[in-house]
Amino acid sequence: MTGPLSGIRIFDMTRILAGPSCTQILGDLGADVIKIERPDSGDDTRRFAPPFLKDTDQKDTIESAYFTCANRNKRSMTLDINHPKGQILAKRLIAECDVFTDNFKTGGLAKYGLDYDSLKNDFPHLVYCSITGFGHTGPYAKRPGYDVLIQAMGGFMSVTGEPNGEPQKAGIPVSDLIAGMYAGLAINAALRHREVTGEGQFIDIGMLDTTAAILSIVGANYLATGVTPERIGNAHPNIVPYQSFPTADGDIILAVGNDGQFERFCNFAECPHLFTDERFATNADRVKNREILIPILREIILLKPSKFWLEGLEANNVSCGPINRLDQVFNDPQIKARGMNLHMEHPATGTRGVDMVASPIKLSKTPPSYRFPPPMLGQHTEEILREVIGASDREIAEWQAENVI
């Protein structure tokens, strides 16, 4: 057994990021992910470059770094679903799969006979997960969805950025990634239901829905009060002080989560009068008077270097930390100790291999495994056809001659 999802086979028609990030999670957990790609071009992200992976001579390969972030533990098969024989072949493969995933626009697979309504009667066991920008219902259902568009429409950008600045997107494609995570969770729930009942089902994941779902405390604050939140930079709407501060030689994050931590901070910073000041005695007081308190704290923290604050506050059990660049992240002893740096061999890079971020999931009995690096386009087409449907050499040659695969 190579993971808790060993024995689960996925017919994966997703591309770009939301869908592939979902199926990579499932692949890491042992699922056999068959990545269906267009002949000659493949997943769009193969061309989202530079940067490209480098070979042993430091020359660019044809493989983009972008593609590697969401496509390990998959086998790539090329298939032209525009071709009638491609549609027939797809259904032969689907018959041997447990899960179908796609992120075509709503209704986009119907013309190929590969939408849920076309498949559910022939394959009642199938768990079918569709990831779209806006879901399959509602006035926006037919619209395409892109991460930055969803961040904007889902309210994320309205609460991100400095108070007097422009709305900002996150530095990572958070709407794509959270949709993929919710999709992976839903697929596992549907597989559990099938285990009990024998029934497959349709999963409708809309990126706007999942982005609204992670508005979390900001959404809760609005729903409780009716007050539209404003951008507050790196500060927290409900906790003070809980933000970045400049030091004498850099910046740190200070995350004072309770009144006890604030008292310890004040004692260490040699400003105990702040804790006894009735304006700042409790978190509710500090939230109410943040515009008075924060400038005072800025002046105090600016006097000493980051090392002074980080070491001293940690010793006093006050939550704080550095603001790391990515070179610092991947060389951080905690990241290394947790095994978050992953290196795999890759057919395009020779002995250089490829470096990736490992799965963060730690399971004591069935941990993630790393069986396949991100595949070359069509690398496993013949292998899959022989293994999954028992295709003969003659059949494969005919499909190749007719540009079906």
Could you tell me how far CA 300 lies from the centroid of its own chain?
38
Instruction: Report which DSSP code applies to 342.
Output: E
Could you tell me how far CA 360 lies from the centroid of its own chain?
11
List 12, 115, 147, 176, catalytic entry: 176
Closest CA relative to residue 12, chosen from 148, 187, 173? 187
Tokens of 46: 């193969």
C-alpha dihedral, 4 to 10 to 13 to 19, nearest 10°: -20
Say how far apart CA 160 and CA 170 lie, in whole Å. 8
Cβ 104 vs Cβ 65: under 8 Å: no
Q: How many CA atoms lie within 13 A of 22 on its CB side?
A: 34
Say how far apart CA 346 and CA 165 lie, in whole Å. 43
Cβ 177 vs Cβ 69: under 8 Å: no
Say how far apart CA 164 and CA 113 lie, in whole Å. 51
Say how far apart CA 334 and CA 354 lie, in whole Å. 21
Known active-site residue 32: no
* Three-class DSSP category at 33: strand
Could you tell me how far CA 123 lies from the centroid of its own chain?
29
Tokens of 265: 């901070």
The catalytic residue positions are 176
